Homo-oligomer: A and B are copies of this chain.
Amino acid sequence: MYQRKIPIDYDCGLSVAMEVVGSKWKFCILDEISKGIKRPKDLVNFISGITKRVLQKQLKELELHGLLEKTIYTEVPLRVEYNLTTSGKSLLPLISAVDQWGMGFSSQLKTILETEA
């Protein structure tokens, strides 16, 4: 997930995917949005550890890459919602699979890291 100086290889699916979703929070953000948490204010509360500033940047990138679309409701107070686009939705099965794999691997990783320490 670090490739600005080293350009993206558009012929490598892994390279493309890493560019778009290979960062610490993006899977979490998309996951929460898919569950109905769509407002920045709520996302900050639901995603433990993320800060407002970082969330904003990630949302902006996801929007730029076409995975999220932003809707502004001119209510008061101002309401903004981020929704998954078709591309964004197409990622959900993958996110779910990664999450499940991680859950299944969790105990093994814990054992390994505690043993060496």
Contacts and interface: CB of A to CB of B under 8 A. Distances in A.
Interface in A58-113: 64-66, 87, 90-91, 93-95, 97-110, 112-113
A55 interface: no
B91 A101 contact: yes
A85 B2 CA distance: 27
A10 to B, nearest CB: 5
Interface residues of A, number: 51
A109 B9 CA distance: 11
A11 B112 contact: no
Contact of A94 (B64, B91, B101, B106): B101
Contact of A102 (B12, B99, B116): B12
A71 to B, nearest CB: 19
Interface of A: 1-3, 6, 8-20, 22-24, 27-28, 31, 48-49, 64-66, 87, 90-91, 93-95, 97-110, 112-113, 116
